[in-house]
Structure 1
Amino acid sequence: MSVSAFVYTEDVLARFMRIRRQTLALCAGLSGEDLQVQSMPDASPGKWHLAHTTWFFEQFVLGHDPAYRSPNPEWHYLFNSYYESVGPMHARPQRGLLSRPPLDEIRDYRARIDEAIGEHLARGVDAALTARIELGLQHEQQHQELLLTDIKHALWCNPLKPAYRQGPAAGESRTSSMRFLPGRQGPVDIGHEGDGFAYDNETPRHTTWLSAHALANRLVTNDEYLAFVRDGGYQEAGLWLSDGWARVQCEGWQRPLYWQEDLASEFTLAGVRALDPHAPVCHISYFEADAFSRWAGARLPTEAEWEDAATRLPAHGNFQESQHFHPCAVPVGDGLLQMYGDAWEWTASPYVSYPGFKPLPGALGEYNGKFMNGQWVLRGGSCATPRDHIRASYRNFFPPHARWQFAGIRLGQDR
C-alpha cells in the first residue's frame, strides 16, 4: 500500500460509512445462528468477520494515537487474525466457539468504533493515516467477499440447503463460442502504477517478458467442464499434478464443490438451482483448473499475460453490486470477455514477490508478504467482489486445493 495521498472520488468519511454499512447489509436476513456457525477451518463465522474488520480499524487507525485506550482490550486476542507482531490470537479453526461476546455486542462495537473514526476524521488526519483508513476499507471489502463465500459453505453444509437470498429468476442463456485471441509478445510492464490504492504485493511495477501466447475470449462454462467430468477427468491420474491427484483420492472429488450428484444442478446462494450450461464453472481448485486445462489441450494463463490484457479493458462485469451472487453467462460479444467479475481466474503463476518488493513497515507488513509460499495467484474478481475493489494489477491468492471461493478457469495457449 502506498502511503501517498489518494485521489478520492467521494469524501473519506462518506466512503468509510458506505463500505461499513454494506457489510451489515450483507448480513441482513441472517440469524444470529447463521452468523455464529463455522463450517470448516478455512472459513470464519459471519460474526467474527463483523468484529475482526472493526478490530482492524481500532488497532491500526485509532491505536495509532498513543492516547487511545480500547474499551475492550481483551477482545484484541479474540479478533486479531494473523498479526503476530501485535500480540497473540485465538486459533482460527476455533472461531466458531466464540459464542461470547454476543452478536448485539459486536454490532455495538462496530457502532462505537465507527463513531470514533468519524471523530478522528473530523479533527483532520495526515496522508499516512488516511492511507491506513483506506487500507482498512479495502480490507473490509475483502471480508465482504469472504463473508459471502463462508456463509455459502455453511448453508450448503445444512441438509435443508437453505438459500441466503432469493436470486433473480433464471432465464434462457447463451454465450460466445470459445476462441483464442493472441496477446502481446515481448517486454511489458506489470504492477501497480498511478495514484490509486494498491496493496504492497502489487508493487513495484517492473518489466517482464511475454512469449507468444493467446488467451481464451471467455471463461470455461459449466457445459464444457461437464464434458471433462463425463470423460472421466477425475479418474485419469495423468491429467493431474501429484498433489492434486492425492487430494482427489483423499477427499473423493468427482465434480466441482457445489454441484449436485445429478450433475444437473448446483447449490448457490439462492439455494439449489439448475446448472446453467453457459454460465462459468466456479468453485474450482487450482488443481482442477490445471487438470481441465491439460485435458483441453491448453494451459492456464500466467498472471503477466492476464494483467497485460486486462489493463487495456474497463473493469466492468458481474460484481457484488449486481446482487446475483453467482457467475452469469456472458452475452455474445467480441474481444476478451469476463475479464472482470463473475469468477476469479486461476493463473499458472505461484504467489511470489515481484523483483524489488518491500512489504509495508511494522505490523502491516504481515498483510501480504508472509503468505508468499505455496499459494497461487488469481485475477479479475468475482460476483462477490465489490466493483470498486478490483483493478488490473490486483493479485488474489489461495492454496491450490481451495474450492470454496468463486474461482473459475480461463484457458491460455502457447503460440
Structure 2
Amino acid sequence: MDIKGSLECNQLIKRYIATRAATTEICAPLEIEDLCIQPCADVSPPKWHLGHTTWFFEELILRQFVAGYQRFDEHFSLIFNSYYKSAGLHWTQKDRGNLSRPTVAQIAQYRQQIDELIVSLLNAGISEEIATIIEIGIHHEQQHQELLYMDIKYILHCNPSSPRYSKTPLMSAQAVTGSWHTYTQQLVEIGHCGEGYAFDNESPPHKTYLTDFSISDTLITNGEYLAFIESAGYQTPKYWLSMGWDWLNENGITSPLYWRNLDGKWFEYTLHGLTPLDLSAPVVHVSYFEANAFANWRQCRLPTEQELEHYLRSSDNQALISAQGLPPASYHQPQLHPINAGDTSGQVWCWSQSHYSAYPGYKPFEGKLEEYNGKFMCNQFVLRGGCIATPPHHYRHSYRNFYQPHQQWMFSGIRLAKDIV
C-alpha cells in the first residue's frame, strides 16, 4: 500500500532522522582513537556500530527494494554484517577491532549517503512492507545506542587514566525505603499486545500461571551488595551455581565489573569518571552468577521474567513511579535527552531466573530478519525493566533483554523476589 504524503510517512522520516542523529551524538564526545578500540570480544569498536546500523538499512531496504542499487562499498557487507548468515559471510566479532579501515571519516560518509537515499525513498512513497522494515531498523539502531554506552564505558575504563565520557558531575543517589508487594496465585497474560512496536520475541501474548510470590519495589544498592562482599560472599561456594563458582575463580572476580578498591576504599568507574562508591545507588554491572549468589545470601531468589512483567505492569509499580518520580538520568550515564513522563524505564535491567526461550506460538520476523532473535534462544537469561541507557520511547514492559550468565558489561542489576509459603 502506498503511503506517500501520509502523516505516517512524514512521522517515519522524522523518527528515522532523529534516531540516526542520536547515534552520532552518542559518539560525539569521543576521540577518533576511542572509536577504533576493541578491548575484548564482547565489546565492539564504536565505529563498527556506526557502520553496522547503516549497513542494516542498506542491506534490508536499498538492496532489496531499489532497482539496480549498487553498494556503497562491496567490502562493507563482510565487515558490517553482524550475524545474518542469509546475507552472506560476516567478519568475526572478536576481530572487529583489528581493522583500521574503513576509517571513521569513510563511515561518516557512508552514513550520510545511506541516510540521503533512505529519506529520498520515503519521500517518494513506500509500501507497508518497507515501512515495517524501517520501523524495525529504527528500533534496531536504538538497541545499538544502548550497546554503544556499554561498549564506550568498557573501552574507557580499560585506560589507567580513567577518562571521563561526560563532563557533567555525577548526581548522588537518594536513599529509598523499599517494601515488598505480594501477589496471590493467578492466571495472567504475558507478552506484547495492543498498539505500538514490539520485537518478535515479545509475542504472542499468552496466559501463564503465577504462584504466590512477593517482589521488592526497590533495586539492590551498592551498599547492600558491599555487605555481601564483606561477608565473604565471593569466598563462600554455597551461594554460587557450580558454573558461577568456576567462573569467578578462573577469572579472579571479586566485585562488580567497575568497582575498584584503592587503599582500602571502594570506587566505581562511571561514564562521569572514577568516583567514590555511592552506597545508595543501584548496584550495576553484575553477572547472573553474582545476582543469583546475592539472592541466595539474602535467602531470597531472583524473580521469573513473568513475575517481573506482571509487577512492572501493576498498579503498585505505577504508583511507586508517581510517588518517587523517575530516576535521575546521570547515575550511570549522561542525560543527553530529557526523560519523558511516559517512560518508565528503571536504572538497570534486572536479571530474572528465566532462560531465554520462545513463547508458545512464537513466529520470527520474515526473510533475513528471521535471524534477529530466535537464533539466540540458548544458554542465556532474560532481563527486564529497562535501564538508564535505554533510549526514550524504546522501552515497554514486555521487552525481553537477554545475556549470557557470565556477562557483566551491560547495565544489569538486581531486584529480589521470594516465595510465599
Q: Tell me if TM exceeds 0.5.
A: yes
Alignment-derived partner of residue 102 in structure 2: 101
Alignment-derived partner of residue 298 in structure 2: 296
Instruction: Compute the displacement of 1:179 (Å).
Output: 2.4
Alignment pair present for 1:285 and 2:287: yes
Instruction: Compute the displacement of 1:39 (Å).
Output: 1.0
Code of the residue aligned with 1:344 in structure 2: it is W
* Post-superposition CA distance 1:192-227 (Å, at most 9, x none): 001211100000100000000011011000000000
Instruction: Compute the displacement of 1:71 (Å).
Output: 2.4
Alignment-derived partner of residue 352 in structure 2: 347
Alignment-derived partner of residue 267 in structure 1: 269
Q: State how far apart, in whole Å, the 1-side matches of 2:29 and 2:284 are.
A: 25
Q: State how far apart, in whole Å, the 2-side matches of 1:145 and 1:125 are.
A: 29
Q: State how far apart, in whole Å, the 2-side matches of 1:54 and 1:164 are.
A: 24
SS at match of 2:55: helix
Distance 1:209 1:153, change over 3 A: same
Q: State how far apart, in whole Å, the 1-side matches of 2:273 and 2:168 are.
A: 9
Partners of 1:49 and 1:143 within 8 A in 2: yes
Alignment pair present for 1:87 and 2:107: no
Q: State how far apart, in whole Å, the 2-side matches of 1:133 and 1:119 are.
A: 13
Q: State how far apart, in whole Å, the 1-side matches of 2:9 and 2:298 are.
A: 44
Code of the residue aligned with 1:242 in structure 2: it is S
Identity %: 45
- How many pairs were matched up? 397
Unmatched tracts of structure 2, length 5 or more:
1-6, 336-342
Alignment-derived partner of residue 305 in structure 1: 307
Alignment-derived partner of residue 20 in structure 2: 20
* Post-superposition CA distance 1:148-183 (Å, at most 9, x none): 111111111111111111233444x43222321113
* Post-superposition CA distance 1:310-354 (Å, at most 9, x none): 1235698448xx3554499xxxxxxxxx97221010001000000
SS at match of 1:187: strand
TM-score, scaled to structure 1: 0.92
Distance 1:169 1:207, change over 3 A: closer
Partners of 1:166 and 1:270 within 8 A in 2: yes
Instruction: Compute the displacement of 1:128 (Å).
Output: 1.8
Alignment-derived partner of residue 119 in structure 1: 120
Instruction: Compute the displacement of 1:387 (Å).
Output: 2.0
Of stretches 178-187 and 224-233 in structure 1, the one that deviates more from structure 2 is: 178-187
Partners of 1:317 and 1:342 within 8 A in 2: no
Q: State how far apart, in whole Å, the 1-side matches of 2:55 and 2:120 are.
A: 17
Code of the residue aligned with 1:155 in structure 2: it is L
* Post-superposition CA distance 1:335-379 (Å, at most 9, x none): xxx972210100010000001111112210101000000000001
Of stretches 242-251 and 357-366 in structure 1, the one that deviates more from structure 2 is: 357-366
Partners of 2:345 and 2:388 within 8 A in 1: no
Alignment-derived partner of residue 167 in structure 2: 166
Alignment-derived partner of residue 71 in structure 1: 72
Partners of 1:259 and 1:267 within 8 A in 2: yes
Partners of 2:260 and 2:267 within 8 A in 1: yes
Partners of 2:381 and 2:404 within 8 A in 1: yes
Q: Note the 1:4-403 alignment, pairs <5 A.
A: 11-65=11-65, 67=67, 68-171=69-172, 173-262=173-262, 263-312=265-314, 313=317, 317-318=326-327, 322=329, 324-326=331-333, 340-403=345-408
**1:409 pairs with one of 399, 414, 418:** 414
Instruction: Compute the displacement of 1:293 (Å).
Output: 0.2
Q: State how far apart, in whole Å, the 1-side matches of 2:364 and 2:197 are.
A: 15
Code of the residue aligned with 1:357 in structure 2: it is Y
